[in-house]
Amino acid sequence: MAVPKVCGIETEFGIQHLGGDGNPVASSSLLVNAYVGGLARAGWDFEDEQPGNDARGFAREGALPPEVETHLVNAVLTNGARYYVDHAHPEYSTPECPDALELVRYDRAGEEILRRSMRAAAQVLPPGQRIVVYKNNSDGKGNSYGCHENYLMDRAVPFSRIARQVMAHFVTRQVFCGAGKVGTETAQAGADVPYQLSQRAEFFEEEVGLETTLKRPIVNTRDEPHADPQRYRRLHVIVGDANLCEVATFLKVGTTAFVLAMIEDEALGSPELVPANPVQAIRQVAADPSLKTTIDLTDGRRISALGVQWELLERAVKYAEDQGLGAVGGEAVGREVLRRWEEVLHGLETDPTEVAGQVDWCAKLQLIEAYRDRHGLDWDDQRLAALDLQYHDLRPERSLFQRLPTEHLVGEEAVLEAVGSPPRGTRAYFRGQCLARWASAITSANWDSLVFDLGTDPLRRVPMMDPLRGTAEHVGALLDSCATPAQLVARLSGRG
């Protein structure tokens, strides 16, 4: 049985400092600082990390002196998330979530945190200056920044199998989770494509590899499990777009959890769906909003992206029947993923405008087509590119996305609750609760440990090597029974 697909999303936001000096690192730091300044939080613990490894962002190589990095802001929030500056971007990493629906909630909470950050920054900026944040993946000038997903996997599954079997999904899932883009930015994608399904697809140049900012691979091999490395793997997925449509985020994560669980349980079935030329295929699919184009599989078949997705869905339905939904978010969420997966494929096949409330690229395309018709514009008109950017603008008064009647899965109140409180179903609960209660006694935190300063030597490191423990169920009563962090540390270790 596959391990439950604990999941998370890291989003690097685009940033613009109106009236500023054009240093995105300083602007990002100011933004994050403005928010975390008054919060209960702990510093990030780099004990088990190599921040240099996270080289991302639109700054060209060599544009930033490396010493800048060490002064960047880095905070852990009471909702269990990490909020920090990654090179030239503010980045929000959701806490570990037990299922796709919960992840939608924490992804939305991230948007709210960025909005609050913009407001807080406006308070401290000189008159005439403003920091604006976009939830997108490219600056429109050929520089892309990421929206990465993470999934918990069983270490026993050979990586080569994951890489081979997940490829078809990564190449084709953009039909429902692409965020849409006017035009192209890279030579590989060509200049004659008016609109693409995906923001990120054209930036991928390799099939499998370790890099995230250069020669980007469709399957990323970074292997920092942030958990017990004997038991777990964290699959780091860099091939997705940042979504604004809640249903798109839900499906991106939900379907991927299904595919990964099936790979883990050797239940993906046959024939194996493996694109013959994944890099070419992902661009080809991105460049065709008609969804008619077909890609070559290694077994000689030619099949459309929707065709691949129908086959995956069919296999997922069978998997659910045979093995249940325990690994993919449980009964309610698992069923909902299957239902919406079918619905969105059907809609895309019939008429993409039907799913404009669920799929970002469809929503954006509809908006842009309408504007283009009204003003008789060519596809390369700068106003269309501006409209594209404004779709992702997180300022409520500017966001084009917010004006659209897209479907919501999570209530506004639940989102606001997620800004401050952790998910209950993973170790993020322990992290967030400890920070909310005893932030001043926590000297540092990271994904798999908290370090407490109890006022006496030594410092105490509390390891959290299992993302599936430390949940409300595991530690709720324990936390409530402790009045001080010293009591907590004593009880954790069975003394007191």
Q: Does 457 bind other proteins (CB under 8 A)?
A: yes
d(CA 201, CA 402): 25
Q: Which is nearer to other proteins, 224 or 311 (CB)?
A: 224
Kindly report the length of the chain: 496
Q: Does 427 bind other proteins (CB under 8 A)?
A: yes
Pair 43, 459: CB distance under 8 Å: no
Q: Which is nearer to other proteins, 398 or 461 (CB)?
A: 461
Q: Does 474 bind other proteins (CB under 8 A)?
A: yes
- Site size for other proteins (CB under 8 A): 40
Candidates 154, 159, 183, 231; binder of other proteins (CB under 8 A) is 159
Q: Which residues of 189-227 are buried (b: 16+ CB within 10 A; e: fewer)?
A: beeebebbbbbbbbbbbbbbbeebbeebbbbbebebbbb
Q: How far is the CB of 469 from other proteins (least distance, A)?
A: 5
Q: How far is the CB of 215 from other proteins (least distance, A)?
A: 12
Place of tokens 């609750």: 417
Candidates 208, 291, 385, 414; binder of other proteins (CB under 8 A) is 208
Q: Which is nearer to other proteins, 316 or 451 (CB)?
A: 451
Candidates 145, 430, 438, 447; binder of other proteins (CB under 8 A) is 430
- The HSE-up count of residue 426 (CA atoms within 13 Å, CB side) is 30
Beta partners for residue 220, in sequence order:
209
β-pairing verdict for 204-209 and 216-220: parallel
Q: Which is nearer to other proteins, 26 or 478 (CB)?
A: 478
Name the segment binding other proteins (CB under 8 A); options: 48-56, 106-114, 176-184, 338-346: 48-56
Q: Which is nearer to other proteins, 355 or 450 (CB)?
A: 450
Q: Which is nearer to other proteins, 219 or 247 (CB)?
A: 219
Name the segment binding other proteins (CB under 8 A); options: 9-17, 21-29, 218-226, 293-301: 218-226
Question: Can 45 be counted among the known catalytic residues?
Answer: no
Candidates 294, 354, 461, 487; binder of other proteins (CB under 8 A) is 461
CA distances from 445 to 93, 365, 430 (A): 14, 42, 11
d(CA 65, CA 57): 14
Candidates 21, 22, 38, 52; binder of other proteins (CB under 8 A) is 52
Q: How far is the CB of 45 from other proteins (least distance, A)?
A: 9
Q: How far is the CB of 331 from other proteins (least distance, A)?
A: 26
Q: Does 377 bind other proteins (CB under 8 A)?
A: no
Q: How far is the CB of 386 from other proteins (least distance, A)?
A: 38
Candidates 23, 221, 293, 298; binder of other proteins (CB under 8 A) is 221
What torsion, rounded to 10 degrees, do the Cα atoms 60, 361, 32, 9 define?
-90
CA distances from 267 to 48, 65, 73, 170, 318 (A): 34, 48, 43, 18, 9
Burial class (CB in 10 A: 0-12, 13-18, 19+), 434: buried
* Site track for other proteins across 103-142, x = CB under 8 A: ----------------------------------------
Candidates 1, 18, 48, 331; binder of other proteins (CB under 8 A) is 48
CA distances from 188 to 57, 146, 185 (A): 20, 19, 9
Following DSSP, what letter does each residue of 171-228 receive, concatenated? HHTHHHH---EES--STTT-S---EES-SSGGGEEEEEES-SSSSEEEEE-----SS-
Pair 356, 173: CB distance under 8 Å: no
d(CA 130, CA 340): 39
Burial class (CB in 10 A: 0-12, 13-18, 19+), 430: buried
The catalytically annotated residue of 21, 48, 54, 86 is 86
Q: Which is nearer to other proteins, 322 or 457 (CB)?
A: 457
Return the active site residues.
86
**By the criterion CB under 8 A, which residues form the site for other proteins?**
47-50, 52-53, 158-160, 208, 210, 221-225, 229, 427, 430, 451-452, 457-466, 469-470, 474-475, 478, 489, 492-494
